[in-house]
């Protein structure tokens, strides 16, 4: 199983679109897609919409929903519409993500390949590939993005023409591959080739060692 993590420096920079685009472009990889969100308040056991099958922690500090709807109306539904074999939504109180990780690991244990939309999950999992989405037009830069910035294997950069971030140094990703995008196209052929090549390398090495 290969694990890909898609992060971003802020909300609304296209992380979900990148995940959906890679799922669609690489359907043979049989993706299980996961979206992780954290909130600063207690979760309500009623958060599961009719389209979800919910697994709920009794303390409501985290929940994992399995998406069933393929209409594309929610982020996890978009993953299924793009061709994912399964789609999960993990919601956790701020600072309580660690408590959900055992349950998440169990949910993805049998997956062919996994793609996760999150930065914070890097505290608990070591992906085969971590891609960071950057949009200079969005001035926000989350602490979680700063924390893991230097671990990005490649950068997906909006060609927005926006101003540079204040106080943000891009040196940690100097020399890493950069894939420039212009929405609504969030995934380029070059990015798809890069992901496929990187994911095939560990398999080739494992086969050679047999």
Given a cut of 90, whether residue 41 has pLDDT beyond it is: no
Least trusted range by pLDDT, from 3-7, 44-48, 84-88, 108-112: 44-48
Given a cut of 70, whether residue 47 has pLDDT beyond it is: no
Provide the whole-model pTM: 0.87
- Report the chain's mean pLDDT, rounded to a whole number: 86
pLDDT confidence tier of residue 82, bands split at 50, 70 and 90: very high
CB 20 within 8 A of CB 78: yes
What integer pLDDT is reported at residue 140 of this predicted model?
A: 87
The stretch 172-195 carries a mean pLDDT of 94
Domains of the chain: 2-200 (3.40.50)
Q: How far apart (Å, rounded) are the C-alpha atoms in residues 116 and 7?
A: 8
Given a cut of 50, whether residue 14 has pLDDT beyond it is: yes
pLDDT confidence tier of residue 203, bands split at 50, 70 and 90: low
What order do you get walking across the sheet with 129-134 strand by strand? 52-56, 62-67, 86-93, 31-39, 113-117, 2-8, 129-134, 154-158, 178-181
pLDDT confidence tier of residue 210, bands split at 50, 70 and 90: very low
Backbone angles phi and psi of 207, in degrees to 5: -65, -40
Given a cut of 70, whether residue 59 has pLDDT beyond it is: no
């Amino acid at each position: 199983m290969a694990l890909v993590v898609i992060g971003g420096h802020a909300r609304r920079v296209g992380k979900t679109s990148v995940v959906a685009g890679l799922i669609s472009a690489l359907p043979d990889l049989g993706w299980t897609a996961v979206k992780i969100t954290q909130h600063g308040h207690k979760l309500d056991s009623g958060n599961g919409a009719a389209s979800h099958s919910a697994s709920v922690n009794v303390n409501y500090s985290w929940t994992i929903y399995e998406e069933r709807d393929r209409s594309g109306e929610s982020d996890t539904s978009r993953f299924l519409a793009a061709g994912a074999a399964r789609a999960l939504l993990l919601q956790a109180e701020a600072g309580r993500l660690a408590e959900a990780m055992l349950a998440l690991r169990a949910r993805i244990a049998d997956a062919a390949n996994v793609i996760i939309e999150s930065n914070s999950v890097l505290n608990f999992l070591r992906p085969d590939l971590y891609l960071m989405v950057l949009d200079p037009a969005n001035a926000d830069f989350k602490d979680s993005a700063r924390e893991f910035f230097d671990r990005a294997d490649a950068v997906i950069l909006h060609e927005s023409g926006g101003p540079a971030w204040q106080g943000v140094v891009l040196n940690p990703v100097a020399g890493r591959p950069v894939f420039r995008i212009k929405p609504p196209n969030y995934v380029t052929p070059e990015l798809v080739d890069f992901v496929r090549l990187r994911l095939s390398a560990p398999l080739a090495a494992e086969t050679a060692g047999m």
